[in-house]
Amino acid sequence: MTGVEQIVKDKTLTFEQKVVALARYAENSVEVLNISEDTQALREAGIICDLFEGNVPYRPRYILPNYEKFMKEGCKFLQLDPPTNIWEATNYLLIFYKHVPSITTMPVYIGNIDYLLEPFIEDEEEAKLAIRLFFTQLDRTITDSFCHANLGPKATRAAKIILEVERELENAIPNLTLKYNEETPDDLAIEAIKTALATAKPSFANHNMFTEDLGEYGIASCYNGLHAGGGAHTLVRMRLSKLAETATSIDDFFNHKLPHAMTCMADYINERIRYIVEESTFFETNFLVTEGFISKDRFTSMFGLVGLAECVNTLLKAEKLEDKFGHSQIADDLGVRIMETMEAFIHQFESKHCKVTNERLLLHAQVGIGDDINTSPGARIPIGEEPELWKHLKQTARFHKYFPSGTGDIFPFELNAVNNPEFILNIIQGAFKEGMRYFSLYSSDADVIRITGYLVKRSEIAKLDQGIATLQDTVVLGQGQVRNGKVYERKVR
């Protein structure tokens, strides 16, 4: 059977998923990028990985359109005037989303949705109905959990309605983030926590930290902080856990293996950017650019990493829990040393099309993919080895500052926390004080759970386990993580 036929005959893929898989197959049948032999060797060794972006970059990976502009001015290409009421607002946004590219074909950022809808809320009952239909349509047609909406930091009626509706719907899509700072009133944060216990979202973003690092930003995809009106051309990641296995000693790792891999990966990222910006015509022709919803100058690219914990443990040959990352001062300090080294590299490496970040790449704690074995997301402590919560939070906070384009940790709580949502709010407030950037929670009893960054329903994974096609393409990723990443075994707080 050819690859094409394999896709066509796959019983677990929906029609839509087959079309995307076929397009990807076609894209991957040619080689257009200049990739050095060394880089290729690292790619084949699984140390550098572009996360299925495809061989011919023809659209940025993450696009964060300026939806405020759309709401104010409408869109010529889509022949839409500015909306005048809640029905037009929700309808026009849905039309617009359909035309926002990404590597999955579905939008990864759908705006600060509460602020976008607030001006159109007159009658709250009517608004709730419109918002309920809007979110239902999103869940059923944007069949990919990397689609992300933002709320806050200030309270709006819209945010309250959205949180209520999401609590009732219990959908996996879209992903949601509440931008949180001292401007966010407690009652909104409490509503958000209640919704998160029911349906694993929203997560909380440390708004002050992101604003300081990026200025005007949005949270896209899993938890990626990027510039609003821009985005990221590409995300390539380094699997530190595998890289450590190639090092003969800690010195070898710092003096040879790490610098070599970083240079190869950064060159590779630049090559992918070059193709999108200089060859693909995206930035000349796409209506998002020509009408100013995004600007080439607000794009950057992401230098990702996974498996810091396993990397440290391998370098230290740590086998007992008390010697491992997350438990030993020596291990954590080595983790910090690796991050400092990587940050120093990023700060001196030029990437000319990343204007918005002074021609530099941004570090990103990548969440991992389904077939990563023994590789924890970003700088997280491995599942099954979580220390007590207060220690966990303090340890984690040490690493969040290195990742302006996103990192995060996930904490399942017992359902009875619903009786005291302030309990969780205090923990989040403390975590942000300590320097955490992004905090996700869910209830150990809910159907919707957070896999690594995105959301999937346990019931949908169970369906897929039985070989039945599921609506969302991310269910299969969740299934892989459940098998290899022990997602169901996270320590419940």
Partner 1 sequence: MNGYLNKIIPFSSVDGPGNRTAIFLQGCNFDCIYCHNPETINHCINCSFCVKACPVDALTINRENRQIVFNSNCCIECDACTKTCHRNSTPKYKVATADEIIKEIENYRPFIQGITVSGGECTLQAEFLIELFTKAKEIGLTCFIDTNGSTDLSQQEKLMNLCDGVMLDVKVWDKERHKKYIKADNEMVLKNLDYLVDCGKLYEVRTVVVPELFNNEETVTNVAHKIKNSTARYKLIKYRHLGVRENNLNLTTPTDHDMNHLERLAHEVGCFNTIIV
List of residues contacting partner 1 (CB under 8 A): 388-390, 393, 416-417, 419-420, 422-427, 429-431, 433-434, 493
Q: Residue 437 Cβ, how far from partner 1 at the closest point, in Å?
A: 15
Nearer Cβ to partner 1 (295/429): 429
Nearer Cβ to partner 1 (171/184): 184
Nearer Cβ to partner 1 (81/186): 186
Q: Which of 422, 409, 414 is nearest to 452 (CA)?
A: 409
Q: Which of 147, 356, 70 is nearest to 231 (CA)?
A: 356
Nearer Cβ to partner 1 (92/432): 432
Nearer Cβ to partner 1 (162/431): 431
Nearer Cβ to partner 1 (119/387): 387
Placement of tokens 């699984």 in the chain: 46
Nearer Cβ to partner 1 (76/391): 391
Q: Residue 398 Cβ, how far from partner 1 at the closest point, in Å?
A: 14
Q: Residue 334 Cβ, how far from partner 1 at the closest point, in Å?
A: 23
Q: Residue 486 Cβ, how far from partner 1 at the closest point, in Å?
A: 23
Number of neighbouring beta carbons within 10 Å of residue 16: 15
Q: Residue 416 Cβ, how far from partner 1 at the closest point, in Å?
A: 7
Q: Could you tell me the two tokens for 224?
A: 């990626």
Nearer Cβ to partner 1 (248/419): 419
Q: Residue 448 Cβ, how far from partner 1 at the closest point, in Å?
A: 21
Q: Residue 219 Cβ, how far from partner 1 at the closest point, in Å?
A: 23
Write phi, then psi, for 211 (nearest 5 degrees): -65, -40
Q: Residue 436 Cβ, how far from partner 1 at the closest point, in Å?
A: 10
Asked whether the beta carbons of 39 and 268 are under 8 A apart, the reply is yes
